[in-house]
Chain A
Amino acid sequence: MTPDPAANLPYRLPPRLFNARCAACWFMLAIVVLVLASFWSLDLQWRSFLSAEALASMGRFVSEFFPPDVSQPFLGKVIAATGETLAMSALGTLLAAVLGLALAWPAARLNDGDRARARAPTRLLLNALRSVPELVWATLLLISAGLGPFAGTLALAVHTSGVLGRLFAEAFENAPPGPGFALRAQGVGNGRVLLYATLPQVLPQLMSYTLYRWENNIRAAAVLGVVGAGGLGQLLAFHMGLFHMNKTCTILAAMLLLVALVDALSYAARRWMTR
């Protein structure tokens, strides 16, 4: 029963600091170059930002925010805009869930015999929908839907249906194949196999994805209005553009409160559901 020798064998030297075969070294070098190139190529105006007069003007700018405007009619307007934000996010998510479900069906290989010819093109479409952010969709949709919450709702729906469609398709593909196989062995068609075997198994998962995206969409809907697509963001952009700083402060506080509330609720819900 001899005790172990030292954990590090004494004759092994530590590796050299730079070694041409070490991928991590090259990787670190690449990161350093990328960061330096970024700072060098952007004409960042630190001087105008950190100079005494800039700091003073920033201080003045911040002090203009206070006191927040809490007059009755304006507060009513903020509450209405908050309601609009919530409605936009809820309706956008609902539309996205429906659209995502419709797109997830062709995007998934439902069984081993399924040739899934539409799978690749549908996935391409879903990826395109997903990689354009809500705000960009909103500016594009303003042309056809006009200023207001409708454009924002559609933008949320379009982007989220890309996200949800892909998640739903993955859920369909990963569902246990047994029940579907049993039905197909009896000669039941693809549509009914999906409705009676696959969908009931993955429904809780789809619900949790949808709720998760709803939470994200509330946050997104709050700022979407900056380009004119309704909700709190539109109110914010309007009053900030007119330099109504006290009103801006109220709107920012409402935004923060909304985000914090959603965070807390989702945290509590998750705790409650996983308990």
Chain B
Amino acid sequence: MTAATALSPPARDPAWLGRVFWLGAALALLWPMLVATEFKPWLLLAPESLQPTLRFARSFVPPAVGSEFLALVARETWRTVAIATAGITLALMIAWPLTLAATRVLSISALAGRMAPGPFLLRQTLRALMIGLRSIPELVWALVFVRVVGLGPTAGVLAIALTYGGMLAKVYSEILESGETDAAQALLRNGCGRLQAFFYAVLPTNAAELVSYTVYRWECAIRSSVVLGFVGAGGLGQQLDNSTKMFAGGEVATMLLVFIALVAIADRASAWLRRALG
């Protein structure tokens, strides 16, 4: 009996053809992207860009902690939170009427099977409006409103209100439609009005989910209200932009730290609230 001879391992990688092909394909795809984005990392190390970078980075320490500056930062941080809160409040005022009109849970004609063509058309139009509001980024809205109402928090509040209004309305109506609809149907079938059905059946069934999504969006709004400051909508972002343009590294460092802390606190608060309510 001869011992089974072990197969000798192949001399070369059996899959080499495929590997080489995919590597080549990836490189061929990558090359035009590198060209389009002017990807030249060595420029970062060229002395004329390295020196200002290092000087700027060195001025980060120590962070600016003058009492006057800290008071300014505190005021602007509050403004950032206030812009987000006011924006979300207005967004809710936009979102709820849209949701009530657009959700198919409250459709009476749909109880009999198919929704009547008129209400169907209305709901689809409203849905298109929501998607339209949502898909223009808030930064673009802010740019437009800064032109109309001038620099200041009004532009930021309006930008957040419009984008988040569309977003909240869309998600709210999806939440209502994916939840339990039996209670609402029972009420509607027995001759309840739509608003009664909403307050006594739809809202209690979905309240926890709706609130937790709203709190999450409030957290997102705080983040985006900082960004909106960069186009002149007030708050922490505007100060950060000014200090960066003046190469005041210490002030930038302080504000970045405050910003990171603000985001972390909003994150924690929103997680806590969602757990408490969920």
Q: For chain B, residues 155 to 189, give those with C-beta under 8 angstroms from any C-beta of chain A.
A: 157-158
**A149 contacts B143, C-beta separation under 8 Å:** no
Q: Is the CB of A143 within 8 A of B53?
A: yes
**Interface residue tally on B, bucketed by range:** 35 or more
The answer to whether A42 and B137 touch (CB under 8 A), given A23-B276, A146-B49, is no
Interface flag for A144 (CB, 8 Å): yes
Q: Are A136 and B227 in contact, CB atoms less than 8 angstroms apart?
A: yes
Residues of A contacting B10 in the complex (Cβ-Cβ under 8 angstroms): none
Residues on the B chain within 8 Å of A240, using CB: 143, 147
CA distance A148 to B40 in the complex (A): 11
Q: Please give, as numbers and ranges, the residues of chain B lying within 8 Å of A255 by CB-CB distance.
A: 136-137, 140
Name which of B16-24, B105-113, B192-200, B258-266 contacts chain A: B258-266
Counting CB contacts under 8 A, is B135 at the interface?
yes
Q: Tell me whether B149 and A45 are in contact (CB under 8 A).
A: yes
A223 and B140 within 8 A (CB): yes
Give the residue of A45, A49, A152, A236 whose beta carbon is less than 8 angstroms from that of B143: A236
Q: Which residues of B contact A148 (CB under 8 A)?
A: 38
Docked-complex contact B52 and A252, CB < 8 angstroms: no
Determine whether the beta carbon of B143 is less than 8 Å from that of A237.
yes
User: Judging by beta carbons under 8 Å apart, are A219 and B137 in contact?
Assistant: yes
- Is B244's beta carbon under 8 Å from chain A? yes
Known A-B contacts A42-B157, A61-B147, A139-B241; the reply to A223 vs B137 at CB < 8 A is: yes
Contact assessment for B39 and A91 in the assembled complex, using a CB-CB cutoff below 8 Å: yes
Closest to A153 in B: B37
Task: A37 to B83: give the CA distance in the assembly, Å.
Answer: 11
**Known contacts being A140-B244, A145-B49, A252-B140, is A44 close to B86, with CB within 8 Å?**
yes
Expressed in whole angstroms, the Cα–Cα distance for A46 and B53 within the complex equals 42
Contact (Cβ within 8 A) A222 B137: yes
Alpha-carbon distance A15/B150, docked complex (angstroms): 49
Partner of B85, one of A35, A58, A127: A35
Q: Flag A19-45 by CB within 8 Å of B: 1 or 0 each.
A: 000010001000000110111011111
Residues of A within 8 A of B (CB-CB), count: 60
**Contact call B153/A42, Cβ cutoff below 8 A:** yes
Within 8 Å by CB of B50, from A35, A42, A144, A256, lies A144
Query: Which B30-59 residues have C-beta < 8 A from chain A?
Result: 30, 32-34, 36-40, 43-44, 49-50, 52-53, 56
- The yes or no answer to A72 lying at the interface (CB within 8 A) is no
Q: Contact at B43–A41, with CB atoms within 8 Å?
A: no
Chain B binder among A82-90, A98-106, A109-117, A163-171: A82-90
Q: Which residues of A contact B37 (CB under 8 A)?
A: 84, 87-88, 91, 149-150, 152-153, 230
- Which of B64-72, B74-82, B95-103, B117-125 is the contact stretch? B74-82
B256 lies within 8 A of chain A by Cβ: yes
Nearest-Cβ distance from residue B39 to partner chain A, whole angstroms:
6
Measured in the bound complex, the distance between the Cα atoms of B86 and A41 in whole Å is 10
Within the complex, what minimum Cβ distance (angstroms) separates A227 from chain B?
A: 6
How near does chain B come to A126, taking the closest CB pair, in angstroms? 12
Which of B30, B39, B49, B86 contacts A153, CB < 8 Å?
Answer: B39
By a CB distance below 8 angstroms, the chain A residues around B32 are: 87
A154→B121 CA distance, assembly (Å): 45
In chain A, positions 220-260 with a C-beta closer than 8 Å to chain B are 222-223, 226-227, 230, 233, 236-237, 240, 252, 255-256, 259-260
Residues of A near B212 (CB, < 8 A) are none
Contact of B136 among A57, A133, A136, A252 (CB under 8 A): A252
* Cβ contacts A to B, 26 pairs, < 8 Å: A23-B276, A37-B82, A42-B82, A42-B157, A48-B149, A48-B150, A49-B158, A57-B148, A91-B33, A91-B34, A127-B264, A136-B259, A139-B230, A143-B53, A143-B244, A144-B53, A146-B43, A149-B37, A150-B38, A150-B39, A153-B39, A223-B140, A236-B140, A236-B143, A256-B132, A263-B135
* Interface contacts beyond A46-B154, A54-B148: sample of 12 additional A-B pairs, CB < 8 Å, sorted by A: A23-B276, A42-B86, A45-B150, A45-B154, A49-B154, A87-B32, A136-B230, A140-B244, A140-B252, A146-B43, A223-B140, A252-B136
Nearest 8 A/B pairs, CB to CB: A38-B82, A144-B53, A87-B36, A38-B85, A131-B263, A87-B33, A149-B37, A223-B139
